[in-house]
Amino acid sequence: MPVLQVGEHQISDYDTYWIRRAIENAALRANQPHFAFVDDVYDGIVYYLEHKCSLRLLQIEMLYTRIRHTLKRIGCEAIANAIEIECPPITISLERAATEAGHGYELAFYQILQTEMLTLKELGAREVFFSEMRESVLILKQAEEWHDDCDQLEGDILLWLRNAGTRPQRQGFRIRCNIEKIKA
């Protein structure tokens, strides 16, 4: 399947459940909650991505143009007009945000994260994964080894994500967050 371009992010090796969800949500918005062709449209789009799309990099907007076109061709213009862009989960590097903010500038770090999450939400992202928590804390604390202050900052970052409305959940080395209700 092609790599998806969502804003500045490129996503490869993704699941496609979010395409089905976008079609189902469009059917609900079009007041057609029992849309019988969800599976057919979904299967057709996935087939296109797996076998027919000649692009190596596909803009998410171009994919949704294709989905709208498909829905209109089968006579489902109301659903086509109601579809909103959704995209697969995106991974955000906390280390990159900490490096961009600079040593000891936690406030700038949080502002960078908030801006990035709001931008991704506008582009159709519902969930993000944050990676490299340990590395980001070490950068912000200007430390080479983990110490008690690092534990405190890690807890503060998780609390900030919770207060921002993301409901963070640890999944191994990553943190999964839902950004649908993120506060501006």
- 124 with 160, same domain: the answer is yes
Q: Give the mean pLDDT of 172-176.
A: 87
Which of these three, 57, 82, 107, is where a domain ends?
Answer: 82
* Nearest-angstrom CA–CA distance, 3 and 49: 10
Q: What is the domain extent for residue 9?
A: 3-82
Q: Give the number of other CB atoms < 10 A from CB of residue 69.
A: 10
- 77 with 11, same domain: the answer is yes
- 154 with 95, same domain: the answer is yes
For residue 37, the model assigns a pLDDT of 92
Q: Using one digit for the tens of pLDDT, what is the confidence trace for 1-43? A: 999 999 889 999 889 999 999 999 999 999 998 999 999 999 9
In a domain, 70, yes or no: yes
Q: How confident is the model at residue 44 (pLDDT cuts 50, 70, 90)?
A: very high
**Which tokens in the block code for residue 34?**
């029992």
Q: Give the mean pLDDT of 79-84.
A: 96
- 96 with 142, same domain: the answer is yes
For residue 166, the model assigns a pLDDT of 86
From the list 33, 22, 11, the residue with the least C-alpha distance to 124 is 22
In a domain, 183, yes or no: no
For residue 138, the model assigns a pLDDT of 92
In a domain, 34, yes or no: yes
Q: Using one digit for the tens of pLDDT, what is the confidence trace for 137-171? A: 999 998 889 988 999 999 999 999 888 888 888 88
- The model's pTM: 0.81
Q: Using one digit for the tens of pLDDT, what is the confidence trace for 115-133? A: 999 999 998 898 899 999 9
- 174 with 97, same domain: the answer is yes
* Nearest-angstrom CA–CA distance, 170 and 118: 21
For residue 88, the model assigns a pLDDT of 92
**What is the count of structural domains for the chain?**
2
Q: How far is CA 144 from the centre of its chain?
A: 31
Q: Using one digit for the tens of pLDDT, what is the confidence trace for 85-116? A: 999 999 989 999 999 998 778 889 999 999 99
